[in-house]
Amino acid sequence: MNKLKIGIVQQRCTPDRKDNIEKSIGFIRKCAGEGAKLVILQELHSDIYFCQAEDIKMFDLAESFPGPVYNQFSSVARELGIVLVTSLFEKRAAGIYHNTAVVFEKDGKEAGRYRKMHIPEDPAYYEKFYFTQGDLGFTPVSTSLGKLGVLICWDQWFPESARLMAMAGAELLIYPTSIGYESTDAEDEKERQHNSWMLSLRGHAVANGLPVIAVNRVGHEEDWTGVTNGQDFWGTSFVTGPQGEIIWEAGQKEELYKVVEIDMARTEAVRRIWPFFRDRRIDAYDDLTKRYLD
């Protein structure tokens, strides 16, 4: 199967979870209706980006698997016969919560999950408060459509995670994300940050000769604690080929779904002309497991 049709859902979220999920499912149906075999949702798509503030009550949004949200998306995958990449707030135990991507097979069963490994902590991105860092490693999820290298948002800045997924046989790199501007940032800084985000992800495509799919949240979300002016998530979900070339890119403001076709055969063609995996100096990489070399 050389051509793969991938559905992407870029949406706004409100505090009304039921409404968010209905909207996701509506878009998923449209993707499947246009032939998508794989559909990808943005990070934490069922809720507002609750990490804008540290608020104990928000842990109520988490669920143990399988829980109601998990089951709802499992059913949709089965009903439509698609592979579905979701991003859920997992309650593993009291005091252990994860930012977890669950991948459902066409039959609705769980194909596998990835727990976010790199956890940010910045003003308005208080994820180290909410999420225990992942402990499942950088292992692709094997599905009927191939091995999916699912990573999540902050992971996007780390070439190491893309590389390890590729080395483990990932055929696609997939990033559900929730990234945006702080309202106080200057315009030129906003532009640099957005460009950096795309450069980083496109760079992973080049380094590993793999298509990359980023699915980002869109729209303004208020800070319910009133500390900041809220976040503007920058949308611009996009798909690249294995040379980092943009195949499709969404706008910064629109809520949308889109089905994009990827030619999976290009990976091998590109890796033949640029055989980076052949030439990695693995005898000289030991220090990559150090924090800093001082």
Site string for a copy of itself, 39-78 (x = CB under 8 A): ----------------------------------------
204 binds a copy of itself (CB under 8 A): yes
**Would you say 69 and 102 are in contact if contact means Cβ atoms under 8 Å apart?**
no
Nearer to a copy of itself, 207 or 256 (CB): 207
Structure tokens at 167: 């080395």
Tokens of 86: 């979701």
Could you tell me the smallest distance in angstroms from the CB atom of residue 152 to a copy of itself?
Answer: 13
- Please report whether residue 187 would count as binding a copy of itself according to CB under 8 A: no
- Per the DSSP assignment, residues forming a β-bridge with 262 are 4
* Segment 271 to 290, residues that bind a copy of itself, using CB under 8 A: 273-277, 279-282, 284-290
Q: What are the catalytic residues?
A: 43, 116, 153
Question: Closest by alpha carbon to 3, among 235, 247, 236?
Answer: 247
Stretch that binds a copy of itself, among 4-12, 28-36, 47-55, 161-169 (CB under 8 A): 161-169
Minimum distance, C-beta of residue 24 to a copy of itself, in the bound complex (Å): 29
> For the CA atoms of 8, 172, 115, 251, what is the dihedral angle to 10 degrees?
-30
Q: Provide the angle, in degrees to the nearest 10, between the axes of the packed helices 68-80 and 17-33.
A: 20
- Distance spanning both ends of the chain, measured CA to CA: 49
**HSE on the CB side for 187, CA within 13 Å?**
0
Interacting residues toward a copy of itself by CB under 8 A? 117-120, 122, 133, 137-138, 154, 157-161, 163-164, 167-169, 192-193, 195-196, 199-200, 202-207, 241, 243-245, 273-277, 279-282, 284-294
